[in-house]
Amino acid sequence: MSFGSPNNPYGQPQDPQQGYGYPQQGQQYPQQGQQPGYGYPQQGQQPGYGYPQAPGVPPQAAYGYPQQPGYGVQPPYANWGQRFLGTLVDGLVFAVPYLLIILGRNTPALMVIGFLAIIGVGIWQLIMEGRTGQTLGKKALGIRLVREIDGQPLGVGMAFVRRLAHFLDSLACYLGWLWPAWDAKRQTFADKVCSSIVIRSN
């Protein structure tokens, strides 16, 4: 048996013009249900550029867009009442430190403790909002602060910038705080400046 014999499976010459993934002479492209050869996307792999996306899969899914219920068509925006109650709960969190300051008018130690508690709670709330999108008030109301572009938390730095931008909401008789009541995206002026939205998380 020679290498050129038709019965020798190792004697079939390869066409140098045909690379992996192209059918050799006499072969067919993989049929449905068959395992594709080299050069074809394997089962479970994401197709590369030039391959069509699977029908029914939103294009955002390929770029890490959050797959939350209701996302993809329109985010489930939190209404004005939810936002107001969340802010109210956050304000109540500071009630105890303020009480210490009031009671400590004649006791410097209590006043110092009260001021430190206010600063500590404020920083902790900011970190939680930046990392998870939720303060204690937002968590209690089931809402979350996220970036409008991808639905991810703002980050601590941007959450701090947004708080500074709330001064815009206090202009013109606090109109910005009321703006989410009729705005299409339920945004305050600070939200529009920082490209953030508040959504329902459950």
Task: Classify the phi-psi angles of 38: left when phi > 0, otherwise alpha if psi is within -120 to 50, otherwise beta.
Answer: beta
Rounded distance between C-alpha atoms, residue 198 and residue 3, angstroms: 72
Contact 7, 1 (CB under 8 A): yes
Structure tokens at 7: 């019965």
Residue 21 or residue 159, greater confidence: 159
Rounded distance between C-alpha atoms, residue 174 and residue 177, angstroms: 6
Structural domain includes residue 175: yes
Q: Helix, strand, coil: what percent of the chain each, to 5? A: 45, 5, 50
pLDDT for position 130: 97
Number of domains in the chain: 1
Structural domain includes residue 171: yes
Structural domain includes residue 169: yes
Structural domain includes residue 131: yes
Structural domain includes residue 162: yes
- Range of lowest pLDDT (40-54, 90-104, 139-153): 40-54
Structural domain includes residue 122: yes
Structural domain includes residue 2: no
pLDDT for position 103: 84
Q: Is the pLDDT of residue 156 over 60?
A: yes
Mean pLDDT of the chain: 78
- Range of lowest pLDDT (29-33, 48-52, 60-64): 60-64
- Range of lowest pLDDT (14-28, 84-98, 156-170): 14-28
Structural domain includes residue 36: no
Task: Classify the phi-psi angles of 188: left when phi > 0, otherwise alpha if psi is within -120 to 50, otherwise beta.
Answer: beta
pLDDT for position 19: 47
Please give the residue range of the domain that contains residue 150. 80-200
Q: What are phi and psi of 39, to 5 degrees?
A: 100, -15
